[in-house]
């Protein structure tokens, strides 16, 4: 069961992303192309950094807490999912906060978080 721990954390983050998206009616599906293009840059930079750190022995992934599926023979598949899900959750949280901070249509002068 320990090999699923990283995946369970990612599942929780992914579930939160789905709930935030539908709960706040953010319509992130209309912005997938922009998100994926931006996230491709993040993936490239941070996966290269992870690969370098693992190759140098500065960083490691506990083999007992990952599925054992590795990309480039060093990075677990969960790490790639991490760099997709976490930026997605950051964007969704930002959009939700923007939506919460807008005044309601009933009271144009209201500026509180509802």
Residues 41-68 as b/e (b if ≥16 CB within 10 A, e otherwise) read eebeebbeebbeebeeeeeebeeebbee
Q: What is the pTM of this model?
A: 0.79
List all residues 6 or more positions away from 22 whose beta carbon is below 8 Å from its beta carbon: none
Q: Are 92 and 20 in contact (CB under 8 A)?
A: yes
Residue-wise pLDDT for 32-66, tens only, equals: 888 999 999 999 999 999 999 999 999 999 999 99
DSSP secondary-structure letter at 104? P
Q: Residues in the chain, how many?
A: 114
Written as six digits, the tokens of 96 are 């939700």
Q: Mean pLDDT across the stretch 67-76? A: 93
Q: Mean pLDDT across the stretch 87-109? A: 80
């Amino acid at each position: 069961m320990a090999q699923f721990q990283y995946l369970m954390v990612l599942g929780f983050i992914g579930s939160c992303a789905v709930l935030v998206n539908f709960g706040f009616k953010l319509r992130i599906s209309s912005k997938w192309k922009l998100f994926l293009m931006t996230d491709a840059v993040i993936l490239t930079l941070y996966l290269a950094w992870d690969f370098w750190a693992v190759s140098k022995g500065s960083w490691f992934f506990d083999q007992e807490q990952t599925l054992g599926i590795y990309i480039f023979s060093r990075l677990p598949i969960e790490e790639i999912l991490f760099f997709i899900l976490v930026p997605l959750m950051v964007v969704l949280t930002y959009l939700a906060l923007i939506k919460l901070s807008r005044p309601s249509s009933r009271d144009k002068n209201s500026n509180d978080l509802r």
